[in-house]
Structure 1
Amino acid sequence: MDITASIVSHGHGAQLAQLLDDLAGLAGPRPRRVIVTLNVPEPQRVAPLQGRHWPFEVEWLPNARPAGFGANHNRAFERDARLGASALLAVLNPDLRLRANPFEALVAALQTDARIGAAYPVQLDAAGRLQDHERLAPTPARLLRRHLLRRARELAPGQSPDWVNAAFLLLRRAAWTEVHGFDEGFHMYCEDVDLCLRLQLAGWRLARADAAVVEHAAQRASRRHLQPLVWHAGSLLRLWRSPAWRAWRVRLPAEADRPESIHRP
């Protein structure tokens, strides 16, 4: 299948090995190329993986120094273009597990409408509970409701999300190229919000593939550690000052702070 997957490991060698094994064991369509960015050195864990034969092409990109989430995926897909560009690009977190093959359903979702720029799976945790991966734009008021009132679900039944997290996205290269990929000014956090908003502002749509289900061990590091919290706060400030945010707010001025409203880009 004409898909290139990008995985960034920041000391995730054990989880990376599991994900690569999951990809190799998929029955049916799977990526033809996997690009693994090693954001920090981890030779003891990675060397055995580099020495194995995989049923897909694997490119290893070691970083001289750590880069941000968006920058790493951008570099991977630029590398893919030089090697022979795939039509579809998959952003995969190393902490995913693929218990069944999600790619066929994701590709089918893209094929239902030529203006769907990104398809995404349903994300569950290890206990089978639905993850909070579809959300509305993170206004200050919504963030207060989320954290003070512990409102974990923002979407009403049938409501379209403004953005979805980038633990697993399957994108058309045409859409990715049009919006110039991730904004590398976001070191970590909110780059997926920004990408989803810019895709939709450019006329592309997001689509959930209900038949595609993955397991994601979300870390929520910004709730437990100071440095991720600082990054998260800085990313929110960058997002709220961005042209994409201003354009999105102008587009839906009356609905932006009403969780019950239905957003259909």
Structure 2
Amino acid sequence: MAGHGVVTVIIVHWNQPERCARTIDRFQHQGVSTRILVVDNGSEPPLLERLRAVVASSVHDVELVELGANRGFGPGANAGLQRWLAEGEGKWVALAPHDALPHDGTLCRLIAAAESRERAGLACADVGDGHVPVVDPYFGGMTVPAPRGAAADGWESVDYPHGTLLIARRACLEEIGLFDERYFAYCEEADLGLRARAAGWEVGLVRGARVTNPTMRSGSPAVDYLMHRNTLLLVREHSGRYHAFIRFCIALWQLARGVVQPSSRVFVFSAKGRAAGMIDFLRGRYGPPPAGLLGQAGAAR
């Protein structure tokens, strides 16, 4: 895309070097010149060595930033975003987890759609599920079916950008700040989107700019922990304590029902993880989940 130079793409990685290699390759077919910044969230030594080999053997412009510990998706992204902001080059930055696979030209479509809107601050690619991201005052970040008659291509205003692949405008991040690191992972993009909208920036999903994520439906006790703790935090921060109290009561009822009625459980259900997340919300404990819960599925995303 003429006039935009090299676009920095930040990829947050944890323990999946082969998948990360595929993602790096996919970002070379985007209709724009890209520079890849891989932020490693403390991968296990053998897997980190394989990631180093991937980066060293790449014929593309790829750089590895090693954090040395699993700080979570939001803090890992922030490490890359802080570096990009400090360098002072480029109007747009892209962000994705290590297993996002953008279709050819997706990044070019995203930037073109956002550039056509003066106050576009955040935008995300289309995962192809026919849904749009919204924030409910009681249930937090979620997706709902797109309105009937919605365009198949182009910009669609949403409450927040999903984290499978998003772009951010430099001026927007300079005004509203980066991800709230209390979330560690999950709900941080909903918080960022709400802050952007509150500051007068537009947030959109770009139809026709496709990305797939083959592992986005993974579950673990850590995922259930983070989803519930962070949803309660998001609701309290943006809708108030009354809404958070009602959401807590709903979560408590769902937890009890899931224990006594297994058929009611959703795919991420973990009584241990969910109960711990609710307790930690009450305690004001944020950041990474307890070490006993943190597993493969709950790490980078």
TM-score range, shorter chain: 0.7 to 0.9
**Partner letter of residue 41 of structure 2?**
N
- Aligned alpha-carbon RMSD (Å): 2.4
Q: Deviations over 1:123-178 (max 9, x none)?
A: 13xxxxx265x2221343689xx8xxxxx734433484322311111110111111
Q: Secondary structure at the match of 2:168?
A: strand
- Distance in 2 separating the partners of 1:141 and 1:186: 16
Q: Distance in 2 between matches of 1:106 and 1:140?
A: 30
Structure 1 residue corresponding to 2:177, chosen from 177, 180, 194? 180
| Counterpart contact for 1:9–1:39, Cα < 8 Å | yes
SS in 2 for 1:153: strand
Q: How does 1:77-116 map to 2 (within 5 A)?
A: 77-116=81-120
Partner residue in 1 for 2:165 = 168
Matches within 5 A, 1:112-127: 112-124=116-128
Whole-angstrom distance in 2 between the partners of 1:180 and 1:153? 27
- Write out per-residue CA displacement over residues 223-253 of structure 1, whole angstroms, 9 at most, x where no aligned residue: x3212111111101111121x445xx9xxxx
Distance 1:67 1:154, change over 3 A: same
1:225 to 2:227 alignment: no
Greater length-normalized contact order (CA 8 Å, ≥ 6 residues apart): 1
Percent identity between the two aligned chains: 23
The letter of the residue matching 1:225 is S
Give CA deviations for 1:61-90 in whole Å, capped at 9, x if unaligned.
Answer: 112211021111111111123344322111
Check whether the contact 1:165–1:193 (CA below 8 A) recurs between aligned residues: yes
Tell me the residue number matched to 1:38.
Answer: 40
- The partner residue of 1:52 within 50, 57, 61 is 57
Q: Distance in 2 between matches of 1:207 and 1:161?
A: 5
Contact 2:164–2:211, Cα closer than 8 Å, also in 1: no
Question: In the alignment, is the contact (CA less than 8 A) between 1:2 and 1:87 conserved in 2?
Answer: no
- Change beyond 3 A, Cα 1:116–1:48: same
Higher helix fraction (1 or 2) = 2
TM-score (norm: length of structure 2) = 0.69
Residues matched between the structures, number: 228
Structure 1 counterpart of 2:94, one-letter code: A
Larger radius of gyration: 2
1:196 pairs with 193, 196, 218, which one?
A: 193
Q: Which runs of 5+ in 1 are unaligned?
A: 125-129, 147-151, 250-265
1:29 to 5, 28, 32: 32
**Stretches (4+) displaced over 4 A:** none
d(CA) in 1 for partners of 2:158, 2:33? 27
Please tell me whether the aligned partners of residues 19 and 99 of structure 2 are also in contact (alpha carbons under 8 angstroms): yes
Counterpart for residue 261 of structure 1? none
